[in-house]
Amino acid sequence: MDYALAENKNPGLAWDQARTRRRQKPRTSPEPQSRARKSGAERLAAFVKRLADAVAKTALFLALVYGAYHGYRFLTASPRFAVEDVKIRGNHVLTAEQVLGWTGNPKGENIFLLELKGMAGRLGEHPWVRSVSVERVFPRRINIAIEERTPYARVRMDRTYVIDNYGVVLTLDGSEYDRLPLIVGLGKPSARLGENVVTDRIIRGLHTMHYFNRLKFFQGDPIDTFQMIGAHRVAFKTRNKGRKIFMDLNAPAESFQNFKIYLNALPEGEMDFQYIDLSFKGKVIVKSERRAEEGPGAEKL
């Protein structure tokens, strides 16, 4: 009651407040149409941006493809990269014509299109080739490096063949290989070029034979025949006097040492023998030439 009387006592203040309320506009939210227009413009701008990015990326990709295609065409068709020179090294038995006959002659071929692995693989199948490498030397040269096998011995089967120090058959025997040792008694009927025809034990026996031939005792009468006797026993035979040395292929090092002990135990004038058997463990059996002349017999050391 008192508050109502107080307001009635100030009519000017009440009038001012009423005018102020009339001037204030009520707050309203944005119209739905304005919001829709703004949202549509944003979506359009985002779409245009994505489209521009896609077009730019597509153009870049097409440019790269175009450049790669024409670059490939240039490298594989230009005469600037046609092979004009082939360098071959390491061949002593094989001629350059034989080498190129196995690899294929790359002259005139595009250096980028050559299959070097295939060239090396074909040449590596040749019996004389132990290893081979083929490389490009830009812009127009091919290098072929060969390591040939070394003739090491001959082996008699249906025919006489030449083998390397791994037992691989290289070629048929010829007069140029007469100084190589001869292996007989393998029991193998035939062989083909490039085939491995001997065992690791026989290879070790050949190595031991070479050690024997390095001794002074064999300088004028080297061992040149290797005869298999059974599965693991061998007889070496010298070229001139026909001396025989029997040995067990399972213990070649021990046999060699026993022979050296035998040589050191005898005076130089009595070192000759008809045969010596080193195939027994801890024992050496010798048949000397002197005893052979007097009659059969053998001495044990």
| Domain CATH for 172 | 3.40.50.11690
pLDDT at 299 over 80: no
Instruction: Identify whether residues 88 and 179 lie together within a single domain.
Output: no
- Do residues 102 and 122 lie in contact, with contact meaning Cβ atoms separated by under 8 Å? yes
Q: Is residue 211 part of a domain?
A: yes
Instruction: Identify whether residues 266 and 212 lie together within a single domain.
Output: yes
**What integer pLDDT is reported at residue 5 of this predicted model?**
45
Q: Which range is most confident: 55-69, 152-166, 198-212, 279-293? A: 152-166
Average pLDDT value for residue range 180-205: 91
Instruction: Identify whether residues 98 and 196 lie together within a single domain.
Output: no
**What integer pLDDT is reported at residue 85 of this predicted model?**
96
Instruction: Identify whether residues 192 and 158 lie together within a single domain.
Output: yes
Q: What is the pLDDT of the chain when averaged over all its residues?
A: 84
- Do residues 279 and 246 lie in contact, with contact meaning Cβ atoms separated by under 8 Å? yes
Instruction: Identify whether residues 130 and 165 lie together within a single domain.
Output: no
Instruction: Identify whether residues 291 and 182 lie together within a single domain.
Output: yes
Instruction: Identify whether residues 168 and 215 lie together within a single domain.
Output: yes
Task: State pTM to two decimals.
Answer: 0.70
Q: How many domains does the chain have?
A: 2
> Of 184-198, 210-224, 278-292, where does mean pLDDT reach its minimum?
278-292
Under the banding of pLDDT at 50, 70 and 90, the label for residue 20 is low
Q: Is residue 183 part of a domain?
A: yes
Instruction: Identify whether residues 189 and 84 lie together within a single domain.
Output: no
Instruction: Identify whether residues 267 and 139 lie together within a single domain.
Output: no
**What integer pLDDT is reported at residue 101 of this predicted model?**
96
Domain C-terminal end among 125, 148, 171: 148
> Of 66-75, 119-128, 196-205, where does mean pLDDT reach its minimum?
66-75
pLDDT at 187 over 70: yes
Pick 24 or 256 by higher pLDDT. 256
Under the banding of pLDDT at 50, 70 and 90, the label for residue 112 is very high
Cα–Cα distance between 148 and 121 in angstroms, integer? 15
Q: Is residue 46 part of a domain?
A: no
> Of 61-70, 90-99, 216-225, where does mean pLDDT reach its minimum?
61-70
Average pLDDT value for residue range 90-113: 96
**What integer pLDDT is reported at residue 271 of this predicted model?**
67
**What integer pLDDT is reported at residue 292 of this predicted model?**
45
Query: What is the extent of the structural domain holding 256?
Result: 151-300
pLDDT at 241 over 80: yes
Average pLDDT value for residue range 178-193: 92
Instruction: Identify whether residues 165 and 288 lie together within a single domain.
Output: yes
Instruction: Identify whether residues 142 and 205 lie together within a single domain.
Output: no
Average pLDDT value for residue range 90-108: 96
Q: Is residue 27 part of a domain?
A: no
Domain C-terminal end among 148, 175, 204: 148
pLDDT at 301 over 50: no
pLDDT at 28 over 60: no
